[in-house]
Amino acid sequence: MTTSPATARISVDREAVVAPIDRRIFGSFVEHLGRCVYDGIYEPGHPTANEDGFRLDVVDLVRELGSTTIRYPGGNFVSGFRWEDSVGPRDQRPVRRDLAWHSLETNQVGVDEFSRWLKLTGSELMMAVNLGTRGIEAALDLLEYCNHPSGTALSDQRIANGSPEPHDIRMWCLGNEMDGPWQTGYMTAEDYGKLAARTAQAMKAADRSLELVVCGSSGSSMPTFGDWERTVLEHAYDHVDFISCHAYYQERGGDLGSYLASSIDMQYFIETVVSTADHVGNKLKSKKKIKLSFDEWNIWYLDEHRESDEVNDEWRYAPRQLEDVYSVADAVVLGNLMITLLRNHDRVASASLAQLVNVIAPIMTEPGGAAWRQTTFFPFSVTSRLARGEVLKPRIDAGTYATAVYGDAPLVDSVVTVDDGAAAVFLVNRSLTDPITVTVDVSELGVDTVAEAVTMWDDDVYAKNTLADQERVGLKTLDGAVLDGGMLTVTLPPVSWSAISLA
């Protein structure tokens, strides 16, 4: 039940700047998992494949999605990965068992091929090193292979392998989810903090300008959440730049109302990690502030996957794993999570939607066949395209609705960006039943025209795009958006995400 009439007011103070937009907030994630790489971005023999075996129809969709940095090659996969297997002549690369996802890794795609793929998509590489089964030496070797120009054993090996220019990778993740018992080589916070600090120190001895991400908790529901961050940062604070956050959401038990308010959990997560990091920084009397890399976030129907037999005893190549099909409601939640990331952009400087193709992904493919957009594709691509310049934190005056998980939750959520004569307003209506008419005071933003107004909404909140019906759901025009005398008025359909671009 809602507690107020279906209207809301938002005011935007031009001075309420959260941060200038760092494009890395629109990052994504490609893991050697299921059909993300193999039979996803890479499918030699597909009619659109290029000479490297990369599907160009998928490349086009990635460009349209607007993802920037791409975290690679895992995820849980990285904790058993020997990077040397995946470089050099393809016919000599070994097939290995990937214990994380119980599948076969052919190593036909490695850092050299993936860097070429990134040139096609116009994205930047964010590399993870294996701190599960390996350690400092392998991390340093990979760094030398990727970034050293020439004249050393490993840089010359890269050149001989057909990559004359260094890959020049700026951001590096020090392992993945090292707190999780499912992780190959998982550790206590104490052990990981020491290893991460030593690895970071050594990597920065090679290149002081690298940006390093230390593993935070693999989720805010971990029993060690908070303590993990504190202990790890007590060891590694001086040597790292970011701490990671991972969060996945799903609708549980038919409780759509709580699910639509998932951003409240993300906000709590961010605030907890920021205050823990600042506590350690203050204790160490450090002038540096640790930034957050929200390098895994998405909707993931994890409970259902736990019950399925996707990971079974067979050793399979590119099995169908984690192939969630997303609804309109999922897209609304995803759009709201992006609003939350932007509203915390002063500390969340980088983020990666996990993942990019087939595996809990905005883009789906069929072997030998089509590639198409999931519902979640749309809020991501529109936000990446329209959010420019600086993020502003609006003041939102809206009613609330009762949720089982979060208590009373605001019906409307929003963030605003502004850029030299242009602005964008992103809005969510979480009401299950009512349209809400929102008035946004944008008089301080120097805009007077509605350039574009789109919404993700449907009569059926569970409508999806599938192989059989790839365009069932798309963006709709948000009719009736009016900007008059500095006041923008829009009516948001129930369970909707919308974006309005102003010029």
Asked whether position 76 contacts ligand AHR by CB under 6 A, the answer is yes
> Which residue in 19, 17, 16, 59 sits closest to 357, CA to CA?
59
In this structure, what DSSP letter does residue 357 have? B
Give dist(CA 381, CA 499) in Å, integer: 11
Asked whether position 355 contacts ligand AHR by CB under 6 A, the answer is yes
Shortest distance (Å) from residue 74 CB to ligand AHR = 5
Asked whether position 296 contacts ligand AHR by CB under 6 A, the answer is yes
- Active-site positions read 177, 296
**Size of interface with ligand AHR, in residues (CB under 6 A):** 10
**Cβ neighbours of 209 (radius 10 Å):** 6
Asked whether position 354 contacts ligand AHR by CB under 6 A, the answer is yes
Closer of 203 and 360 to ligand AHR (Cβ)? 360
Report the site for ligand AHR in 242-271 (rule: CB under 6 A): none
446 phi and psi angles, rounded to 5 deg = 65, 40
Asked whether position 74 contacts ligand AHR by CB under 6 A, the answer is yes
Q: Which residues contact 386 (CB under 8 A, 6 or more apart)?
A: 417, 424, 426, 452, 499, 501
In this structure, what DSSP letter does residue 459 have? S
Closer of 176 and 501 to ligand AHR (Cβ)? 176
Task: Considering only the stretches 70-78, 187-195, 264-272, 369-377, report the one whose residues sit in contact with ligand AHR under the rule CB under 6 A.
Answer: 70-78
Closer of 50 and 224 to ligand AHR (Cβ)? 224
Lay out the site mask for ligand AHR across 213-232 (x = CB under 6 A, - = otherwise).
-----x--------------
Alpha-carbon distances of 186 from 236, 292, 298, rounded to whole Å: 17, 21, 23
Closer of 80 and 394 to ligand AHR (Cβ)? 80
Question: Do 375 and 456 touch, CB atoms closer than 8 A?
Answer: yes
Closer of 177 and 413 to ligand AHR (Cβ)? 177
Helical ranges in 25-75 per DSSP H: 56-65
Shortest distance (Å) from residue 364 CB to ligand AHR = 16
Closer of 101 and 497 to ligand AHR (Cβ)? 101
Scan for tokens 């995400």, then name that residue: 497
Give dist(CA 497, CA 412) in Å, integer: 10
**What are the DSSP calls for 261-273, one per residue?**
TTHHHHHHHHHHH
Lay out the site mask for ligand AHR across 449-478 (x = CB under 6 A, - = otherwise).
------------------------------
Shortest distance (Å) from residue 6 CB to ligand AHR = 37
Extended strands (E) in 369-445: 371-373, 390-392, 395-397, 400-403, 407-410, 412-419, 422-429, 436-441
> Which residue in 459, 462, 248, 215 sits closest to 361, CA to CA?
248
Q: Which of 27, 53, 75, 493 binds ligand AHR (CB under 6 A)?
A: 75
Task: Considering only the stretches 57-65, 68-76, 232-240, 374-382, report the one whose residues sit in contact with ligand AHR under the rule CB under 6 A.
Answer: 68-76
Where b means 16+ CB within 10 Å and e means fewer, 288-322 reads eebbbbbbbbbbbbeeebeeeebbeeeeeebbebb
Shortest distance (Å) from residue 116 CB to ligand AHR = 24
Strand, helix or coil for residue 363: strand
**Cis bond before residue 75 (omega within 30° of 0):** yes
Task: Considering only the stretches 72-80, 108-116, 163-171, 237-245, report the one whose residues sit in contact with ligand AHR under the rule CB under 6 A.
Answer: 72-80
Angle at CA of residue 227, ends 196 and 268, nearest 5°: 110
Shortest distance (Å) from residue 310 CB to ligand AHR = 12
Asked whether position 127 contacts ligand AHR by CB under 6 A, the answer is no
Closer of 250 and 286 to ligand AHR (Cβ)? 250
Shortest distance (Å) from residue 76 CB to ligand AHR = 4
Task: Considering only the stretches 69-77, 223-231, 260-268, 416-424, report the one whose residues sit in contact with ligand AHR under the rule CB under 6 A.
Answer: 69-77
Q: Which of 177, 229, 251, 413 binds ligand AHR (CB under 6 A)?
A: 177
Q: What H or E segment, with its residue span, contains residue 278?
A: helix 263-283
Task: Considering only the stretches 73-81, 116-124, 264-272, 305-313, report the one whose residues sit in contact with ligand AHR under the rule CB under 6 A.
Answer: 73-81
Shortest distance (Å) from residue 43 CB to ligand AHR = 21
Shortest distance (Å) from residue 425 CB to ligand AHR = 31
Shortest distance (Å) from residue 101 CB to ligand AHR = 8
487-492 β-sheet, strand order? 395-397, 7-11, 436-441, 487-492, 482-484
Q: End-to-end alpha-carbon separation of the chain, Å?
A: 37
Task: Considering only the stretches 74-82, 306-314, 429-437, 493-501, report the one whose residues sit in contact with ligand AHR under the rule CB under 6 A.
Answer: 74-82
Asked whether position 376 contacts ligand AHR by CB under 6 A, the answer is no
> Which residue in 124, 122, 145, 142 sits closest to 134, CA to CA?
142
Q: Which of 18, 24, 30, 31 binds ligand AHR (CB under 6 A)?
A: 31
Closer of 70 and 354 to ligand AHR (Cβ)? 354
Amino acid in position 52: D
Q: Which residue is nearest to ligand AHR (CB)?
A: 75
Residues interacting with ligand AHR, by CB under 6 A?
31, 74-76, 176-177, 218, 296, 354-355
